[in-house]
Structure 1
């Protein structure tokens, strides 16, 4: 975590963590991070809106790695617009997402005020044959509008909702595009949830500390998902523990307790330490580490020229 000031830190009111660095992320349904791009502010020249620019940039980066694959992208109302669906239609990318009411380009759907008077499950849709875009407005607990160039209204699904009038759960009509969106959306939220369970809790005074720890968390999350996809029956906590054990066995060293070192390290020759005369403890001008127990002291041996505690003097010369 980093609580200092930086020009790239953002403020998003209403978020659980309002201040911090923002990253645009493309993730799978289960939270596997495919592509990420740190937001640096208005640093790039763009001809479209920010949401459309971000989706285009992330999909282009993924298509550079997998040029022959077709992709289905699900995004929320910050990114979705008719121009985004039209521009990516030619690049073999299908888009499905919720859209804000002022971004439907005057699509003649029934207005929201009239929609709220309809029964739950009522829907209205329009289809643009030129760009193969389906616009659907559906009345659930609230009125929601979606755009898609991959899914349409048919086949009509059934969704269970609680009815206060009859005091039981009932089934209402649900367009297919809504059902598909509910199934595949939320991959970035799933990624954040996976990371948040066992996040690296390190606070630093350097701005890049939080970015490095976040990248490590994302890497561990991806590795755990990949291990489970190959048949490993292991949860995230045990996976992190296995990583820690492997690193300690390979790079770790035995813990040295203060005052009881495993090995005395000193540049003083053994002949001087054990056989030379004039060993006398005295007070030094500089506080240094003891040559035997490694704790700091101002006492030193006049003959050996190293700092030593009174209790370490005899042991060092034995």
Structure 2
């Protein structure tokens, strides 16, 4: 998908549920518009509820998410499920909450905050470098703490007051970004044409490796960094691999005799396959041997792509013919007696009848 404003604009979108230390609990691949008919709820609401479905005791956890998922209905649902939640919010998601607008509030003194509560949800707007709105269904403003901020006008660090729920949000938010940073540090540089490789073989395996590394750091006295842990895992897997026994030479494959008939023709197929010659995806296949053959070049199509063939003396029968130029593709006579040729061997000069 395409996401404007991201460092990597094209890619796959994954919804992740992670701890504050970067440990991944659950992830879900975004596949576009939902097909189950549940379109009454917003996308952010469905994502949060689906990821939180793996948590058995929601009252023992606190969940933090950004303003993409925030809505008033979601905060009420989480409160009914005894899930403690804190998140940032956009001005158009507050359902006419009587808080000042961001354009006028940013002119106030740095550290100024205002709040409003309806008895269930608490909304706080705090002015830092720019106004930010934080919504919670359990946390409080007190005790107000003081944090250091750099003042451009005074050219020094100053102390700015900060509500308690904003300090908690800054402390525990960012677990997904931390997990992404761990994965990006030692990401495999293998490229593939298959769409599922970067998701299942690269992202998923890397997330499992990060999860194992974080568990190892918690239970072991040896505090290994990510590279040292990965090297130990690789060495262990190589040491446990069984040694391959030397393979015995098997019987040589018998030669297939191709008769003088037009049964090897490229035809359309309902399934997509990979061409045995050029390795590209194609929906064309050979009508005779049922192999994917997507070559449209007459010279390339004349190449033999099967095992070595046994031919009649002096005659080389074309094996794979494109479906469009049937008249020019007549049997070809060699200037010399035909021999068995492999795909890597050059054929003698051809003369077309």
Fold match (TM-score > 0.5)? yes
Counterpart in 2 of 1:285? 340
Does the aligned pair in 2 maintain the 1:71–1:92 contact within 8 Å? no
Q: CA offset at residue 285 of structure 1?
A: 3.1
1:266 aligned to which of 249, 256, 262? 249
| Distance in 2 of aligned mates of 1:73 and 1:264 | 56
Counterpart in 2 of 1:126? 116
TM-score of the superposition, structure 1-length normalised? 0.75
| Distance in 1 of aligned mates of 2:163 and 2:188 | 41
Counterpart in 1 of 2:77? 87
List per-residue Cα deviations over 1:218-241 (Å, max 9, x = no partner). 000000001001133111111111
Counterpart in 2 of 1:7? none
Do structure 1's residue 204 and structure 2's residue 197 form an aligned pair? no
List per-residue Cα deviations over 1:61-86 (Å, max 9, x = no partner). x22xx247522110000011111110
Larger proportion of helix:
1
Please list, as runs of the form range in 1=range in 2, the aligned pairs for 1:131-280 lying within 5 A after superposition: 132-212=120-200, 213-231=202-220, 232-251=222-241, 253=243, 265-267=248-250
| Distance in 1 of aligned mates of 2:57 and 2:105 | 42
1:72 aligned to which of 39, 62, 70? 62
Counterpart in 1 of 2:15? 24
Does the aligned pair in 1 maintain the 2:58–2:83 contact within 8 Å? no
* Higher relative contact order, structure no. (Cα contacts within 8 Å, ≥ 6 residues apart): 1
Q: What 5-or-longer segments of structure 2 have no aligned partner?
A: 252-338, 347-353
Do structure 1's residue 37 and structure 2's residue 28 form an aligned pair? yes
Counterpart in 1 of 2:44? 51
Runs of 4+ in 1 over 4 A off after TM superposition: 262-265
TM-score of the superposition, structure 2-length normalised? 0.68
List per-residue Cα deviations over 1:10-58 (Å, max 9, x = no partner). 1111112111111111100111101111111112332210001110111
Aligned residues: 255
List per-residue Cα deviations over 1:286-310 (Å, max 9, x = no partner). 459xxxxxxx999xxxxxxxxxxxx
| Distance in 1 of aligned mates of 2:59 and 2:16 | 19
When residues 202 and 108 of structure 1 are mapped into structure 2, their CA distance, relative to the original with a 3 A threshold, is same
Does the aligned pair in 1 maintain the 2:108–2:127 contact within 8 Å? yes
Counterpart in 2 of 1:96? 86
